[in-house]
Structure 1
Amino acid sequence: MSIQSILKIAVLSIVLCSCKSKKEPVQPNIIYILADDLGYGDVSSYNENSKIKTQYIDNLASEGVMFTDAHTSSSVCTPTRYGVLTGRYNWRTTLKKGVLSGYSKSLIQQEETTVADFLNENGYATAYIGKWHLGWDWTLENTDSLGIDHLKARPQVDYTIPVKNGPNTHGFDYSYGFCGSLDMPPYVWVENGMPTKVPTDTTKGKKGQATWRKGPTSKDFSHEEALPEITERTVNFIAENANKDKPFFIYMPLPAPHTPILPTKEFQGKSGLDNPYGDFVLMVDWVVGEVTKALEQNGISENTLIVFTSDNGCSPAANYKQLKTKGHNPSYVFRGFKSDIYEGGHRVPYIMSWKGTIEPTKSNQLVCTTDLFATVADLIGADYADDVAVDSYSHLAVTNIKSQKPLRKSIVHHSVDGEFAYRKGDYKVNFCFGSGGWSYPSKNVKKAVLDTLPKVQLYNVKEDMAEQNNLQAEFPEVITEYRTDLLQIINNGRSTEGEKQMNDTVEDWPQLEHIK
C-alpha cells in the first residue's frame, strides 16, 4: 500500500471519528412542572428532617439530576414565570416589584420570543395547562379608580370576546388555564383564548389558609377542583399526543400549594401535620405521580424529559410556626421565605429527569429558572437569536449528555420589594437592609430599628446557609467587586455573552440607588 493511500485512510478515519463525537440532536418530549410556593424543605429528598413524604417527586430525583443550588429569578410568582418562559430576568421588564393581578395586561410583549415559540418553530407541539399569572389582554368595558393592576381592582370585562396577547400568542398551540392566581379573580377557565363560560356568579371572599378574594366566577370553575382539573387535562394531552410524529412540550404551572390551600377530601389529614398545607403538598406530589404514570401507560417515559421545580420559596400562609412544632421546616435550613432576598425566598428544589438517558446524580451547580430556554436549545441542538434568552445558561453539561455550552457562574436575585442580591461563588451580597420582603426585618419595622440595620449584607452561603453572619465589614473588596458586576449586568441588558441589549425601562427604579 502506498504512503498516499495510507494518508487517505488516516484522514478518512479522523473525519469519521470526529463525526461520531459530535452531539447528535435529540428531540424528547419535555414537561415542565412548576409548583407554586413549594419550599425547598417540603420535598423529602431535599430535607432529611421533612415530615412530608413526597414519594413521586423523590422518584424523579432518584432517576435524574437533583440540583441543590437552584434558584428562581424572583422570590414571587409573576416575575419567576416571566423568566422561565423568556430566559430573561424579570426586573428588565416594566414590573420592578410585586406581581400582576388577574386583570393585568400581558407582561410578555408580543415581539418577545418564548421557549414555547422556540420549541414550536423546531417541530414541537406545545401546550400550557394551569396557572398563567403573566397577564393577558381582556376586553375591558370600564375600570374603577384602582385600574387593572391593583389586587383589589374589579374592572368590568366582556367575557364573550377572546383574550389577546395570551398563551396562544406566545407559542402555545393549546392553552387552558386562568389568568391570575387561584386567589385572584376573575375565576374563569380560558381555553385557547376563549372563556369556557361567562361568569354569572360572584364568589365571596374567604380568609385563613383557604383564602381567596371576592370576584366573578363561572359555573364551571371550582377552586377545590382546579388542581385535579389541570392534572386531568395534562394527562389527556399526553395520551392524545403520545403516538404522534411531533414531540411535545407541556408547560404545567400548578396553583398549589399556594393559597387557597385546598386539599381535596382524599388528601385531608393525610400528612399527619394537623395542617392542610402538608396535605396540599402531598397533593402536588400526587400530580407528579399522575404525570409519570401517564408517561408509563403511553410508553413514552423513556422519551420524555421532566423538569420539576417551584416558582419561589414557601409562603408564610403555610403557618411556619405550627409546622415547626411538628418538626417540619418548609425553608429547610435557609433564612426567610417567599418574598425575601434571603435564600428561603428563592432557593428551590430543581430536578431534571429523563428515564434511561440522564444518569442519576446530585449537583451543586448554580442554576436559575431562566435557564430552561438555553438548556432545551442545547438539548435539541438548535440556535436562537442573539437578543433572545439573554439571561439563560444551559446546565446540560451537568448531566451525562454532551454539551460545550458554558455553565452559569453567577446569578442575580430579586425580592418582592424589587431589591437586588448578587451571588458568585460562595459569596452573596444583599444590596438592601433586612429581608427585602415580608420576613423580619422588613421595610415596615420601626424607624428606630431600621436605622440600625446595615444597608449591605455579605454572606458566605456555602458555610453560612442561614445567612446569620454578615461579613460586610471584613471583606469590603468583595462588595465592591460584586457591585461592579451587578451594575454591568443591569446596564448591559444581558448577563450572557453577546451584543448589548436594552432594559424595558429605567425610569422610576429606586432600588438601583440601593446598589450604588
Structure 2
Amino acid sequence: MNRPLLSQKLSNLAAIASIACLFATAFLPRVSRAEDRRPPNVVFFLVDDLGFMDIGANNPDTFYETPRIDELAQSGMRFTNGYAANPVCSPTRYSILTGKYPSRVDATNFFTGTRAGRFHPAPLNNRMPLEEVTLAEALKDSGYATFFAGKWHLGPSEEYWPENQGFDINRGGHNAGGPYSGNRYFSPFKNPRLEDHGEGEHLPDRLATEAAAFIADHQDQPFLAYLSFYSVHTPLMGRPDLVNKYQAKAERLGIADREALGEEEQVFPSAKSSTRRVRTLQNHAVYAAMVEAMDQAVGKVLDQIESLQLRSNTIVILTSDNGGLSTSEGSPTSNLPLRGGKGWVYEGGIREAFLIRAPGVTESGSTNDTPVCSIDFYPTILDLCGQGLPSDRVVDGQSLRPLLNGQPLDRKSLFWHYPHYSNQGGFPGGAIREGDWKLVERYEDGRVHLYNLAQDIGERNDLAAKHPERVTEMRSRLHDWYVDVDAKFLREKDGKQPWQPKQ
C-alpha cells in the first residue's frame, strides 16, 4: 500500500476513535462528580419581633433603614406571604427547628406564658421535647458543624438548651426570652452561655462576631450557622449614635411629634378602657436604632461569607418569629396596613419577612406570593442539602424547592392555633388561609370572620355573612386540622365554660 493512502487510513481511524471516545465520555455516569460536590452551607437569621413592614424590601416607605437585609432580598427570593406558625416566639422557634405545627406538642404560647382572661388558657408545654430530631441534629448526622447564637427560649433548664438539641456550639442561648440580665443589650451581659469581654459591647454585633468566627473556623466543612438575634425584642435600648440619628430623621421628616397611636379592640375584661392603643406611625427612634444595628450585624455575617468566597455554596435565610410589637410594651412599631401585631392572629401578628437565597436555585431579585410558613424551613433546608426527612417523624411543612425553581406548590391550607391571652392584648383564636381567603375563629365564643386578603389586607371587611358556604367549608377543614394535631382549647374559669369546637 502506498504511504499517502496508509497515512490517510490511519488518520481516519484516529478520528473515528476520537469520536467514539467522546460518545463514551458523554454517556458515562456523572454520579461521581455529584458525590464529590460538597453539600451547601446554611446560614439562618432569625430576628426576634421584626415586623413585616419593618424592612425596606417589604416597605419602601419604612422609617427604618435596612440596607443589608434589602440587599439579601435582592440576591434571592422574597416571599410576600410568608408566615410564622404562631403569633409569639417559642412556638414559631419550635416549628422552624422541627418542621411541625407547635400544637402537636402543646407548645402554643411563649415559654411559659399562662395569662388568664375570661377563661383559663389551654395547657402549655414549656420545652421542645428532646425526642425531636431538630434541624441541627439532622444536619449534624450528615457531617455538618452546627452553631447557635442568641435567643433560644425553648426550654427551662440546661438539658433543653441548644447544645443538647444538636448544636456543637452555643453562644448565648438559654431559657430567657430576652436580654434581661446584666446591662441587657450592652455588656457585661451576664448571660450563662456568653462570656463577657468587658463593658460596652453591643449584643447584636457580638453575636454576629461569634457567627463570623465560627464560619471562618469551619469553612472547610459544611456548616449550619443559626443566628437568632435577641433584637429587636424589648427592652427598648439602642446605640446612642443611632438613636440620635433617628431622632434627627424624625425631626427632619416632620413626624417626631405627630400622633402615632390609634385604637384597636380590647379583649382583657379587667382593662380600664374599651379599646387598646396601637401604633399607626413608624417614628420610634430607639426602635429604629435597634433595627439598624441588627441590620448591620446581618451585614457583618454576609461580609464574612463573601470574604471567604463561600457565597456560591451557602444558603442564606432570614425571617422573624412573629409580627412587630404594636399594641403593648411601648408599642414601638407600626405594622399598617396589616392589622394587629405580635400576639394577634391578624396579619400583623403572623406575616413575616421571609427571604431565601439558595445559589444555583433562586433567581436574584425574585418574589413569590404563595403562602408559606415557618414549618417549611425544615424540609426546605434538608431538601436543598440533599437530605431526606426523618422516616419516623411527622413533618407538617413542605419543601419550598418547587417555588424556588419557579414551580407551584401543591398545598391548599395553612393553619394557626393560639388558645391563649397574649401579653400584647390579642384574643385566643385560630385561623386558616386558603388562597386569598382567611378565616379567623375566636375561642371564647366561637365567632368567625372571613377576609379576602387580596382586597382587604387590613382585615377590616368581614365577609362571613356574604359567603356562608365558604365559611362552612373552611371552618370544617380547620376543625379537622384541630383533630389531626390534637389541639387544646380554653378551659373553664369561675364556673363559666368557653366555646369548644365540635369533634
For residue 165 of structure 1, report the CA deviation from its aligned partner. 2.7
Q: 2:10 aligns to what?
A: none
**2:484 maps to 1:492:** yes
**2:370 maps to 1:375:** no
Q: 1:110 aligns to what?
A: 130
Q: 2:78 aligns to what?
A: 66
* 1:363-512 aligned within 5 A: 363-400=368-405, 406-415=409-418, 417=421, 418-432=428-442, 455-493=447-485, 503=486, 506=488
**2:14 maps to 1:37:** no
Q: Alpha carbons of 1:56 and 1:514: their partners in 2 closer, same or farther (altered >3 Å)?
A: farther
User: Structure 1 stretches (4+) deviating beyond 6 angstroms?
Assistant: 17-20, 23-26, 219-224, 507-512
Q: Alpha carbons of 1:37 and 1:224: their partners in 2 closer, same or farther (altered >3 Å)?
A: farther
For residue 299 of structure 1, report the CA deviation from its aligned partner. 1.4
Q: Alpha carbons of 1:98 and 1:173: their partners in 2 closer, same or farther (altered >3 Å)?
A: closer
Backbone CA RMSD of aligned residues: 3.4
Is the CA contact 1:397–1:407 (under 8 Å) kept in the aligned structure 2? no
For residue 188 of structure 1, report the CA deviation from its aligned partner. 4.2
Is the CA contact 1:176–1:190 (under 8 Å) kept in the aligned structure 2? no
Q: 1:157 aligns to what?
A: none
**2:168 maps to 1:173:** yes
Secondary structure in structure 1 of the residue aligned to 2:353: strand
Is the CA contact 1:483–1:515 (under 8 Å) kept in the aligned structure 2? no
Equivalent residue letter for 1:232: T
Secondary structure in structure 1 of the residue aligned to 2:139: helix
Q: Which moved more, 1:350-359 or 1:286-295?
A: 350-359
Q: Alpha carbons of 1:16 and 1:334: their partners in 2 closer, same or farther (altered >3 Å)?
A: farther
Q: Alpha carbons of 1:222 and 1:508: their partners in 2 closer, same or farther (altered >3 Å)?
A: farther
Q: 1:150 aligns to what?
A: none
Q: Alpha carbons of 1:108 and 1:352: their partners in 2 closer, same or farther (altered >3 Å)?
A: same
Q: 1:439 aligns to what?
A: none
Cα distance in 2 for residues equivalent to 1:467 and 1:223 = 44
Q: Alpha carbons of 1:364 and 1:19: their partners in 2 closer, same or farther (altered >3 Å)?
A: farther
Equivalent residue letter for 2:292: L
Cα distance in 1 for residues equivalent to 2:466 and 2:29 = 51
Q: 1:255 aligns to what?
A: 230
Cα distance in 1 for residues equivalent to 2:475 and 2:30 = 44
Residue by residue over 1:285-329, the C-alpha shift from the partner in whole angstroms, topping out at 9 and shown as x without a partner, is: 111111111111111122111100111111135855xx7xxxxx6
**2:67 maps to 1:55:** yes
Q: 1:159 aligns to what?
A: none
Equivalent residue letter for 2:150: G
Task: Could you tell me which runs of 5 or more consecutive residues in structure 1 were left unpaired when the two chains were aligned.
Answer: 1-8, 138-162, 197-218, 324-328, 434-442, 444-450, 494-502
* 1:121-140 aligned within 5 A: 121-137=141-157
Is the CA contact 1:309–1:348 (under 8 Å) kept in the aligned structure 2? yes
Question: Among 321, 342, 359, which residue is 1:338 paired with?
Answer: 342
Equivalent residue letter for 1:461: L
Cα distance in 1 for residues equivalent to 2:501 and 2:324 = 27
Is the CA contact 2:181–2:191 (under 8 Å) kept in the aligned structure 1? no
Q: 1:358 aligns to what?
A: 362
Q: 1:182 aligns to what?
A: 178
For residue 183 of structure 1, report the CA deviation from its aligned partner. 4.8
Structure showing greater Rg: 2
Secondary structure in structure 2 of the residue aligned to 1:164: helix
Q: Alpha carbons of 1:512 and 1:366: their partners in 2 closer, same or farther (altered >3 Å)?
A: farther
For residue 45 of structure 1, report the CA deviation from its aligned partner. 1.3
Cα distance in 1 for residues equivalent to 2:297 and 2:459 = 33
Secondary structure in structure 1 of the residue aligned to 2:81: strand
Residue by residue over 1:88-142, the C-alpha shift from the partner in whole angstroms, topping out at 9 and shown as x without a partner, is: 11122233434337xx9961111111111111112211111111111142xxxxx
Is the CA contact 1:106–1:166 (under 8 Å) kept in the aligned structure 2? no
Q: 1:232 aligns to what?
A: 209
Q: Alpha carbons of 1:57 and 1:17: their partners in 2 closer, same or farther (altered >3 Å)?
A: farther
User: What TM-score do the two structures reach when normalised by structure 1?
Assistant: 0.72
Secondary structure in structure 2 of the residue aligned to 1:268: helix
Q: Alpha carbons of 1:476 and 1:185: their partners in 2 closer, same or farther (altered >3 Å)?
A: farther
**2:240 maps to 1:265:** yes
Cα distance in 2 for residues equivalent to 1:251 and 1:389 = 23
Q: Alpha carbons of 1:400 and 1:26: their partners in 2 closer, same or farther (altered >3 Å)?
A: farther
For residue 332 of structure 1, report the CA deviation from its aligned partner. 3.7
**2:51 maps to 1:46:** no
Is the CA contact 2:346–2:459 (under 8 Å) kept in the aligned structure 1? yes
Equivalent residue letter for 1:176: R
Is the CA contact 1:105–1:136 (under 8 Å) kept in the aligned structure 2? no
Is the CA contact 1:33–1:309 (under 8 Å) kept in the aligned structure 2? yes
**2:318 maps to 1:308:** yes
Task: Could you tell me which runs of 5 or more consecutive residues in structure 2 were left unpaired when the two chains were aligned.
Answer: 1-19, 114-123, 183-188, 251-283, 422-427
Q: Taking every aligned residue pair, what percent have the same amino acid on both sides?
A: 30
**2:292 maps to 1:282:** yes
Residue by residue over 1:240-297, the C-alpha shift from the partner in whole angstroms, topping out at 9 and shown as x without a partner, is: 112x2x2100111101111012222332223323620111111111111111111111
Equivalent residue letter for 2:177: S
Cα distance in 2 for residues equivalent to 1:508 and 1:459 = 24
